[in-house]
Chains A and B, each alone.
Chain A
């Protein structure tokens, strides 16, 4: 039996814009095994959030399938979807605007429990909220506090407690630590890894931070302008990147040491390809140092070059 919890097949999401059709997610296929983490990285605007939101139908897909435990969730009725929403949760990028400022911490965590009518007695509900707060490291004193009184790290913990409330199997984390400083970031990442082990959670972990993704992921998917360009186990990707975009990405991480100062940063040069009505050919070609004629005309195919290492590149 396959251990795949979720399988995304040829997923597309296009948006209408004044200038034409915007290909935000363009034919992405991935799967994640139960209890594992797939990290998704890529340039800002390449479609990471859209991928996450389309997988749980916060956006309706343009094309493709998402199989959750073997069933295509795009065939689900509204009622089925509602049930599914408890097994799949999302933690949003921004701990500032994703929480209702008029609700207390306990009310925010209780919300999914109330709307799914999980507990009949108030007592049981309170116990559950308290134990969730303990799990994510929020002191019980904050039971009646409001989000604006808390810093970013504590707010993000509320988001995690909310996501855990319904005992999900699968959590989509959209940049859950990007807005946090390194110390709090480390605390939250450790928490997410502990919870994964304890509860056998499966994560789709979106981030632009390569050091974060390396720590938390089993496999890493690199996206560029709506498409998958490379996917490999985390160690393989860092040790042996193949796609020129992945290489550029790994090469531009600023290190916390002096000596890099004053040097011109290596940026990817060349014209940016627009995701609106994209022409055929590799979307990175115009910025790629190795581009050949073929790259401008023919779409590269996403192929397996060594075990579990996939790349879409003509070179």
Chain B
């Protein structure tokens, strides 16, 4: 039996600044089961990070507003918890690898102290055990331990990212939210990190939400995939549905078409035409219509409903 760990219903998040309102996440639904991983894929500005920050309740509170929805984690609605209860959940039950590694690192602490601090807060370890574990996790992310006395600014971009990963994985979370965890890493270190995550999943049945634009990584690690565009989930299903299914949202097709192909020798790449709409001025109807090669009259007028083909959801007029 699959056991549900996280359920997001009808989540809507906006950013309100002096000049404009950005509709960042628009009424999305997501389910995540114990021990499984969900990949969230989509263009910059699609609302992936906003979704993640809503779960862990770290949205910038001055500008961000959750207008509707619930986020049920282990049968509790996280949106109703006090900040004090939420703090217990962060780190203990849910941990996050942040997109910008510097935002999670403290510039005045050595790398050793940063990791030790998290272990001290969340794990029942003695001094010696903490020392041992710090060395261990650094080794796992490929950083030799004679470097643990250095400060973040002395590390390269990818090394900072790896320290962030070490911190998030160190205390055995139930849910790991990884926001573009390997963007700054080369493929060999990336493989090491993904192995680490696999190991955590098989040892503790940790569930994971993996936000990434690397479809290769998604293919290797995710059970389920959600494709986001302009704050909506336009397609979702099992990895098999997304990678091998017959029907796709035109945006998903565009995404797959833009991947540089290593096997053929061509120089020009094929990006999706046009750019993401301004988030404060979203187009009418289907939000993808201005860039869609299959655009019909109805797409300009009406926002499509999502249609399910055996659990493979596609939100597009082509299939209605």
Contact = CB atoms under 8 A, between A and B. Distances in A.
Contacts of B244: 258
Nearest to A24: B156
B159 A45 contact: yes
Contacts of A249: 186-188
B260 A258 contact: no
A179 B258 CA distance: 15
B157 A44 contact: yes
Given A18-B149, A254-B219, A210 B254 contact: no
A182 B45 CA distance: 13
A253 B157 contact: no
B282 interface: no
Nearest to A274: B144
Interface string A178-202: 1111111111011001000000000
A97 interface: yes
Nearest to A238: B262
Interface in B68-112: 100, 102
Contacts of A180: 44, 213
B275 A153 contact: yes
Contacts of A76: none
Chain A interface extent, by class? 35 or more
Interface stretch (A26-34, A121-129, A263-271): A263-271
B158 interface: yes
B187 A276 contact: no
Nearest to A152: B44
Contact of A211 (B102, B262, B271): B262
A43 interface: yes
B157 A181 contact: no
A266 B220 CA distance: 13
A264 B188 contact: no
A292 interface: no
Nearest to A187: B271
A210 B188 CA distance: 11
Contacts of A45: 143, 155-156, 158-159
A253 B216 contact: yes
11 contacts: A43-B186, A43-B188, A45-B156, A181-B42, A183-B43, A183-B271, A186-B270, A190-B271, A214-B260, A256-B243, A265-B195
In order of increasing CB-CB distance, the 10 nearest A-B pairs are A44-B158, A254-B216, A181-B213, A186-B269, A186-B271, A208-B186, A151-B45, A256-B215, A211-B260, A252-B187
Interface of B: 42-45, 100, 102, 139, 142-144, 146-147, 149-150, 154-159, 161-162, 180, 183-192, 194-195, 213-221, 239-240, 243-244, 254-256, 258-262, 265, 267-272, 275-276
Given A45-B159, A273-B144, 15 more contacts: A45-B156, A50-B156, A180-B44, A182-B258, A185-B269, A186-B269, A211-B261, A215-B267, A235-B265, A256-B216, A264-B195, A265-B192, A272-B144, A274-B147, A276-B147
